[in-house]
Amino acid sequence: MRASAARRKRPAAASSTTRAVARPTPRTASRTAGRTGAVLFTAAAVLSSAGCFGSSDGPSRHGPDRAEKTPGAKRAIVWNTRPSSIASLGDSITRGFDACSVLSDCPEVSWSTGTDVQSLAQRLLPAATARAGTHAWNFAKTGAVVADLPGQIEAAAAHKPKLITVMIGANDACRDSVEDMTSVEQFRTTFTSALTRLRRDLPKTQVYVASVPDLKRLWSEGRKNIFGRQIWKLGICPSMLKDSDALDAAANARRQQVADRVTEYNKVLKDTCGRDVLCRFDPAVHEYRFTSAELSKWDWFHPSKAGQQQLADMAYRRITASTS
């Protein structure tokens, strides 16, 4: 009974303490937690709409997330001018087609990953790595169009390259006729989807996108060679090169249609790449005036080994530039 009496007196003492330091009642605590939760929820919504949330490995419309893992810390996206591995995507130009022998690929002289020219791989990667070819992969394919790009990206993603080079679009314009050229809308949809996939699979990989070469300039230069004009009759880029000697209004209009389509493709490449902070578009390829010595002596249309070197030089300047 004494113990019970003592226990009955303890609440009174506790009550005295409560008056000195008030403890929240369950109802008060509930209201406080509710207000705190509302504030946190509102703050989260504002930060989310500003793009402040997301995994550091997760892709977004603007490339990898910019935040460090430490809360509140920020870092700017910095372009690495010395990537440690390279994968090349694209068409016959990146495969070195007709640069070494007739109607054959010659990836050894590819401007991107070749070993027999001062390619990007040779200039950017450590010498031993570049010679071994263990950090450079060429997934380009002769005849490829923009619709083939997703498959090439899938193959490249398995190696997780630090840099991917893309040169695509010439074959979308080089069709049997101007009516068969890939439409600008389809080109935009396909390329945008491909770059989105690349960014999803490789959120931190840098991308170099070369402009489509000036096909009309290649016609103008290559037609100077009589043998080249005969080779073109076999079906090389007929939308531009067929009836290469014809200078009538219809022929000129056809060639200009092809040239205009290439210009539109390049605008798509530039605009799409420009929305990704880890992508650099290079207009220099389209602006470059290839000489006869820089064109294949077998078809006078594809770059020769010398032409491949010029492409490598242009890409190197763009990739190693201090600013985009």
| pLDDT tens track for 65-84 | 433 444 544 567 789 999 99
Mean pLDDT value of segment 222-246: 93
Question: If we measure between CA atoms, which residue out of 256, 262, 77 comes closest to residue 167?
Answer: 262
Question: If we measure between CA atoms, which residue out of 99, 54, 127 comes closest to residue 301?
Answer: 99
Inform me whether the pLDDT recorded for 53 exceeds 60. no
Please name the residue that has the structure tokens 């790595």: 129
| Secondary structure (3-state) at 159 | coil
- Predicted pLDDT of residue 43: 35
Please count the residues of the chain: 324
Inform me whether the pLDDT recorded for 4 exceeds 90. no
Confidence tier at 51 by pLDDT (50, 70, 90): very low
- Predicted pLDDT of residue 131: 58
Confidence tier at 132 by pLDDT (50, 70, 90): low
Inform me whether the pLDDT recorded for 312 exceeds 60. yes
Encoded tokens for 313: 């030089």
Residue 138 sits at φ, ψ, to 5 deg, of -115, 110
Confidence tier at 23 by pLDDT (50, 70, 90): very low
Q: pLDDT above 90 covers what percent of the chain?
A: 71
Inform me whether the pLDDT recorded for 61 exceeds 80. no
Q: pLDDT tens digits, residue range 140-199?
A: 999 999 999 999 999 999 999 999 999 999 999 999 999 999 999 999 999 999 999 999
Confidence tier at 21 by pLDDT (50, 70, 90): very low
- Predicted pLDDT of residue 228: 87
